[in-house]
Structure 1
């Protein structure tokens, strides 16, 4: 990943003033994108609190607050005594292995599919170098390769726009319940996410960095293998590991909608109020996600390639370096092989249940037998737009709607020049409510509001935690400060780091859906519970990548600018160097949180996700398809905004 040039404080004095830098039109450009982003976020934040109904009565009303606190204490008291009986421990362990195998298989399939899709959606690979500027560079019909690239980007947009929970709801109707449903749902969603990340990372590599490869006559694929790929390998590995961790967290809860594993049993036990069993299952879930987090940290450290970094892994020979890589790949393939064996032929059933081959539905899917269950898909290809309500379509139907008073007559009472009057907006909204399409659009405000407010709270909390969370500033600051602190001060700093990292681990180790279950039990269903779940989980995810971007900065940059205060060095040097990475990670998290907010709607937060699930389960497939289109449109719009404001770090 590219970072900003270091900010240095040169204390040396000279007799001559430094020469003025040469004129650079590129350097004189104002950072309009940053100010546009701040203005956009401010407007959206105001809209988030005005476009939807927030219920803060459980926090502001004394009686409601007392009831919420009472439910909180009752919930905590019920979870004091988990079920640690040997039989249920074996039951939980079997479900944990189901969850792990589903996550591994889903991630493995997604990596393969994402690489193939990224080959087409990466402009550097599929289109190559172009001298076009402005709108012509983004016009898809200028070349067949550019059109193919645009189509691949649309496919990846659709795949990642539909959350894994929604994919699971659809796949249950095709292949039924089970861990394979969860694995395929994860694979479809992660394919879109990784394809976007891979293609953007490849496109972010400066063409000058691999121009020697192209000058030798190499084609675009050869340039990818020997130029673009190696230069972007570290970032690709980092994002892949991060998505693998997310897959394990999502696999732990996707069973709530039919994906099997821990999630299905947690949802089952919650419905019966068996809180002691729920506690045990939650502990297994937390142990699984935290173990994946720690393993991922270890792999990241092994892959560190900066030989000047104090924590880089040093090997004495090229053979040992290659051996470490081959061992890592071998272990990963062994885990994948075990996952397929366990799901198909291993002892994958909890005690008291019969072992099943969960891979059989995949055979039916390939052979075509499962496609007999997809008759509903034809109806989903005919989404209900309700154009008659706005005077478009069959004349008789349009006239019937007008006669019944259910058509939209937007300016019947107030004209366009009355936009300054609040009463006009209320009248317009009442008229638009007659149109089903407007109700679909309005339902999208709920996940957007939850995601926006939750992400901003998560970014703020992660920014505050990143300083005590940083290994560089809490554990190894003496490498660039030159200080020799006493033992008790070292202990205090390391204790702060342990507490901050434990907070981050728990925050991101518990999936958002489980946080939502917790807050719903406190405050009841609604936006508040969903927003708090997103904020806490985002804090854990972002504080990790924020501190990693700080810890990856070479210590010589801190040494050049250190002025006696570690906190000042962090705020004035480390943050300005890493802020572009922070901005990118924050926007990626916001996009992920929009999908998460749709999922939370399915489990009780309302809005777009609830409406899709409700209409799909009640066989109103035309209406469900319209809500699904809105879900996809949200992600595509957010992605295009990120490219326009260069949040994606792509210059192509």
Structure 2
């Protein structure tokens, strides 16, 4: 009997696989060809790493210098010792519980609003839905002006790029000035960012469905909406559901720290207590954060199991009647809607204030948004619509300004000392750099090197750690290996494997359960503020996110694939069979995690890593809105460029 391979679950910031009729894993039919693509990828990665370490300033003195290492260990020890005695007083526990409920309601409301907006935006940005069938190839297929529907699709894609390119922290900074502090600010900031993420994922999943699979819907006269509702939508439903649940888990983690910039909940109090050095209270708040993310993980897994209807899944229950399977789906949807309803009630009319504070209706600012009263505050940001491009330094624009820049010696005269043919001389590069530094735009571009370098190094370390942990993290190889090995496992060996599985999953849960900002605070205590602390924070969190989807990709492989190639060693079977089958999924997840980590690196810049995030926050807080807008444009440009590269290289698995 033939088993199909079910789709792996989505990851925190990366889309699940698209639906295809052809398998990913194909043997090399051209036995004489060398895998130049693999070596090319390794060479490209090496060049990027070299660029990451040369384009940004890394400080390794805490590791290389014995005195600095001793001081760093002392700071780390004192920091950890301060966390050894959490504040478990009844009053502060009630205080933390109220903030936890605020965080949960903000995350749920933000995700709920984002799902509605993302579906609408994805309908426009999905080429299969908005454009329909086209017999075009090459550049004509990507030319947006070929027809109005194609132009509309391109505009929707740019809109979703902008929404997800701006981190939720930045959205929160802007929204605070419009509607003030509170959980609703965090919910709306999350909703804006998640809308862009979900719209991208939904549209790519819909576009990844093979046209021939739903051709019958179109053949009987169904329009584009009918094709979506009766063809594309049901075929991509499982991947959409899986990624939405994963995104909801991530929203809860982000809501726990977005309060640091005015989003309310746990994050606001964590930041407040850190400023006063109340580490015992910070420890308690972090424990509540970890408990919240663990609960969200368990609830999403419950909902995911209820919605699972794939009979070919290795752990699917196949003897349930259709009525019971349908009831399971209704139960899952009912649980989700009940949580959404409770979140709106709690934020508006529930007992949502910590002990000693007065209850508030946090939904009232939403009424001001609808009525237009809150929009009066946005006139404060009209200056952000005029970003400082400093074109006069390049000799563009007003003649008087350009002449004044030349007279002051602050104009860019790139080839005044060395011509373009002197590129082989190091002195020429230094002279060109000195000239370009006269232009503010170049300094903005240079600041992008910090989040890029931080994200690249952090993602690579996280991928390696996740790949190493995915073997003990896999249920198939730790707990159910006897189903394809045929071995009679003694109880003590099975208990040992279960212990490995539990420890690996606990490590992964803690790594992804603690937000990157919190990991950054830990590593800043050791390395000090800078790129290294941010890169390590990204690496730890990425390892926790990726090990989950890496192992799920392996666990979703039918066991018959392992039976055919099992040679007596589970580790060899994992390395020689499971990894080659799942590596395309791993590559896709890793690239999209890198894209998410670039946005995370921008956020970490706000809390001490430097680069784009720090420059935006600094100029914004000092009311230099024109300059802040320029840095914001660079943040958006980074995400758009990375997205277009992923589409060009087919990392997103989209063939449209």
Q: Which runs of 5+ in 1 are unaligned?
A: 10-19
Shift of 1:32: 7.4
Distance 1:141 1:260, change over 3 A: same
Instruction: Name the structure 2 match of 1:544.
Output: 548
Describe how 1:360-399 pairs up with structure 2 within 5 A: 360-399=364-403
Deviations 1:276-308 (A, max 9, x none): 101100100011011111222233333333324
Say whether 1:592 aligns with 2:592: no
How many Å separate the matches in 2 of 1:101 and 1:37? 43
Match of 1:61 in 2: 65
Cα 1:28–1:201 change in 2 (3 A) is farther
Q: Which residue of 2 aligns with 1:496?
A: 500
- C-alpha deviations, 1:30-65, integer Å up to 9, x for none? 987666544433222111000011011111111111
**CA distances 1:222-266 after superposition (whole Å, capped 9, x unpaired):** 111111111111111111111111100000000000000000000
Match of residue 530, structure 1, among 527, 531, 534: 534
- Counterpart in the other structure of 2:149: 145
Mapping 1:46-445, distance limit 5 Å: 46-314=50-318, 316-445=320-449
- Mean Cα displacement is larger for which, 27-36 or 568-577? 27-36
User: Could you tell me whether the CA contact under 8 Å between 2:314 and 2:556 is conserved in 1?
Assistant: no
State the Cα distance separating 1:416 from its structure 2 match: 1.2
1:641 matched to 2:655: no
Kindly state the Cα deviation for residue 390 of structure 1 after the two structures are TM-superposed: 1.0
Residues 582-637 of structure 1 show CA distances to partners (whole Å, capped at 9, x for unaligned) of: 11111110000000000000011000000001111111100000000000000000
Cα distance in 2 between the residues matched to 1:579 and 1:295: 28
| Aligned: 1:560 with 2:564 | yes
CA offset at residue 6 of structure 1?
7.9
Measured at CA, do residues 367 and 35 of structure 1 come closer, stay the same or move farther in structure 2, by a change above 3 Å? farther
1:459 matched to 2:463? The reply is yes
The aligned counterpart of 2:614 is 610
Instruction: Specify whether residues 365 and 275 from structure 1 end up closer, same or farther in structure 2 by C-alpha distance, changes over 3 A only.
Output: same
**Are the counterparts in 2 of residues 79 and 275 from structure 1 also a CA contact under 8 Å?**
yes
Rounded to whole Å, the distance in 2 between the matches of 1:453 and 1:579 is 20
* Alignment of 1:519 onto 2:526: no
**Secondary structure of residue in 1 paired with 2:206:** helix
**C-alpha distance in 1 between matches for 2:342 and 2:32:** 56
The superposition leaves residues 62-116 of structure 1 with CA deviations (integer Å, 9 ceiling, x where unpaired) of: 1111111001110111111110000000000000000000000000000000000
Deviation at 1:314, TM superposition (A): 4.0
8 Å Cα contact 1:186/1:247 also seen in 2: yes
Residues 307 and 328, structure 2, Cα contact 8 Å, conserved in 1: no
- The offset of 1:126, in angstroms, is 0.4
SS at match of 1:253: helix
Match of 2:8 in 1: none
Q: Who is 2:472 aligned against?
A: 468
- State the 1:315 CA deviation: 5.3
Q: What RMSD, in angstroms, separates the aligned Cα atoms of the two structures?
A: 1.8
Instruction: Tell me which moved more, 485-494 or 312-321.
Output: 312-321
Q: TM-score under structure 1 normalisation?
A: 0.95
Please report how far the alpha carbon of residue 215 of structure 1 lies from its aligned counterpart in structure 2 after TM superposition: 1.2
- Mapped to 1, the partners of 2:295 and 2:265 lie a distance apart of 17
**Contact 1:563–1:569, Cα closer than 8 Å, also in 2:** yes
CA contact (8 A) 2:206 2:236 kept: yes
Q: Is the 8 A contact 1:210 1:227 kept in 2?
A: yes
- CA–CA separation in structure 2 for the residues paired with 1:569 and 1:303: 31
Deviation at 1:564, TM superposition (A): 1.3
Asked if structure 2 preserves the Cα contact closer than 8 Å seen for 1:516 and 1:600, the reply is yes
The superposition leaves residues 205-226 of structure 1 with CA deviations (integer Å, 9 ceiling, x where unpaired) of 0111111121111111111111
Over 3 Å counting, the alpha-carbon distance change for 1:252 and 1:29 in structure 2 is: farther
Work out whether residues 481 and 564 of structure 1, in 8 Å CA contact, stay in contact via their aligned partners in 2: yes
Distance 1:8 1:603, change over 3 A: closer
